[in-house]
Chain A
Amino acid sequence: MAGWFRKPSVLPGFGLTLGFTTFFLGALVLLPLAALVFKASSLSWHDLARILLDERAIASYRLSFGAALLAAAVNAVFGFIVAWSLVRYEFPGRRLVDAVIDLPFALPTAVSGIALAAVFSPTGWLGQKLALAGVQVAYTWLGVVVALVLIGLPFVVRSVQPALVEVQRDLEDAAETLGASAWQVFRRIVLPAVMPALLTGFTLAFARGIGEYGSVVFISGNLPYQTEITPLLIVIKLEQYEYDAAAALGFFMLVMSFVMLFAINLVQAWGRRRQVAVGR
């Protein structure tokens, strides 16, 4: 391999491993995604606009993006509190709690879907009590939010935890000695230090929430115009053999995924620049 492409090394296997990696990546991931882009781009502007601006599609975006945004916000608050408790306090069962945070990564989405539906359905153990209070979670947009909170939780906690560990305790001590209240210390020292990590976690949770399918469809009720998320609409279009519509909606979601990836990279680059500026 030519020198301009890579730095020389005595280690073997560069051509073989990189070749296999790019081949496999291309065949399994890039080629299929390119097929989706190609299929969508073969539609006329008119058709594309008709499909993407359809009333039912717009209702589904509103739910998918709105619920994902709300769920990410809930996670930013509660995920932060969980991360704080795990990093700053010693309590019985802390190790267990820390291990359990990753459960949504490991638990199949269909399982969390039916489990949440059972917990929150009007006859379920929490749903019953909520029904007495006049709140229905299952089969409403609230159910979608609950499912997305579950899915997004580990992203926020696992982003914030290492950042909280890095916060300089002596700065907090100094501020306290100089008369700052606990809230001021948090607001002026802790929060700015973990902000990039918190934003990264928020964006990751949001991005994951937009595309989530399995854990949502059991609890959402799936009524067109009301509780139908965009991924479900794609599935429905496919089941009706409307490949054009499915491809157009899929392309739209793919573009949104790229926008989110880009946003995450921006947030992380911003966090790195700030770290350098603070001199750490």
Chain B
Amino acid sequence: MAGAAPRVEVRALTRSARVARAALIGVSLAFLGLLLAAPLGVVLAQALAKGWQTYVAAFADPDTQSAIRLTLLVAAIVVPVNTVFGVCAAWAIAKFEFKGKSLLITLIDLPFAVSPVIAGLVFVLLFGAHGWFGPWLQERDVSVIFAVPGIVLATLFITFPYVARELIPLMQQQGSQEEEAAITLGASAWVTFLRVTLPKIRWGLLYGIILCNARAMGEFGAVSVVSGHIRGLTNTMPLQVEILYNEYDFVSAFAVASLLAMLAILTLVIKTVVEWRTGRGRA
């Protein structure tokens, strides 16, 4: 979603308007402070509650390490796949006029509208022990649910629209004249994409990838349903946070959570830089 922070038109204000301004800004900051800053602060405070050494020691736990490795593995599979999909979808939708296009866009957005729990549920119904392909998979000794493939599938489903959503409006707005010129002058399709389109969309693409990555690493509900919570094997970082939290190991839980929180902050920083770069958000 595009952030819009155009320069404010500053005006001379009457006394009552100044009071209203102070009150509204005050309410906004208090609301956001309570809702966003306080939880973020608590994550860091709790993680460091028993000092830096305990914080670092939390990451020495082999189960936590394996959770971090699994999260990185899942993101390493999911993000490239959904990036390729997003670029393909955006190319087809932004560069061509065809029947059923708005339906296609709605369907691509579907994973946004569906509860993460349902994203997990559908794969359990397909591949679980009592699911459609369950017996067939069992005969061949392949496990999808309560194993890494299920986690990858659920995460693919959840992060499916992110790259496409960033690119479609951007490419529609940019139009296709430059690509048409390149093709007419004899450039191949691949060269046209790499030399003409990619430079135009790189910042939007970067933000889409970063956002997709943040969601892939942070997904909880869908992954929780399909993972089976097997320690050291099928726990991702958010699931490890849950387990540690439920065991009252708060320092470790918040230590792992702090890594995820930093990832979120990094995502927002990159988003801000991208908006600054593309001139979006500046009137």
Contact = CB atoms under 8 A, between A and B. Distances in A.
Nearest to B226: A238
B31 A111 contact: no
Interface stretch (A23-31, A43-51, A54-62, A270-278): A23-31
Contacts of B55: none
A125 to B, nearest CB: 7
B138 interface: no
A267 interface: no
A214 B221 contact: yes
A169 interface: yes
B280 to A, nearest CB: 11
A108 B118 contact: no
A17 B88 contact: yes
A254 B111 CA distance: 11
> SS class of chain A's interface: helix, strand, loop or mixed?
helix
Contacts of A110: 218, 220, 238-239, 241-242, 257, 260
Given A28-B156, A29-B157, A103-B264, A5 B98 contact: yes
B5 A95 contact: yes
Contacts of B238: 108-111, 214
Given A89-B8, A165-B4, A6 B96 contact: yes
Interface string B107-122: 1111101111110011
A174 interface: no
Interface string B257-279: 10011011101110110000000
Interface string A12-45: 1110111011101100111111011001000000
B75 interface: no
A231 B126 CA distance: 19
Interface in A42-80: 78
A107 B125 contact: no
Interface in A143-194: 149-150, 153-154, 158, 161-162, 165, 169, 182
B70 interface: no
A95 B24 CA distance: 17
A133 interface: no
B110 A78 contact: no
A119 interface: yes
A210 B113 CA distance: 10
Given A82-B32, A111-B241, A36 B118 contact: yes
Interface stretch (B36-44, B57-65, B198-206): B36-44
A245 B103 CA distance: 31
Nearest to A39: B125
Contacts of B114: 33, 211, 254, 257
Contact of B260 (A29, A39, A104, A111): A111
B268 A99 contact: yes
Interface residues of A, number: 98
Contacts of B156: 28
B107 to A, nearest CB: 6
B221 A169 contact: no
A241 B130 contact: yes
B257 A114 contact: yes
A88 interface: yes
B85 A24 contact: yes
Contacts of A158: 1-4
Contacts of A91: 25
B12 interface: no
B107 A29 contact: yes
B154 to A, nearest CB: 10
Contacts of A10: 180, 183-184
A244 to B, nearest CB: 10
Contacts of B20: 182
Interface string B1-44: 11111101110000011001100110111011011111110110
B196 to A, nearest CB: 11
A5 B99 contact: yes
A211 B114 CA distance: 7
B268 A115 contact: no
A71 B169 CA distance: 29
Contact of A213 (B42, B221, B245): B221
B91 A105 contact: no
B29 A211 contact: no
A84 interface: yes
Given A82-B31, A89-B24, A111-B260, A18 B117 contact: no
Given A100-B32, A261-B106, A107 B218 contact: yes
A90 B8 contact: yes
A85 B122 contact: no
A221 interface: no
A154 B1 contact: yes
B148 interface: no
Given A110-B239, A115-B43, A211-B114, 12 more contacts: A9-B96, A11-B183, A25-B104, A32-B126, A87-B6, A89-B21, A94-B8, A100-B37, A118-B39, A161-B3, A214-B238, A235-B224
8 contacts: A13-B91, A21-B108, A32-B126, A85-B28, A99-B269, A162-B4, A182-B20, A260-B113
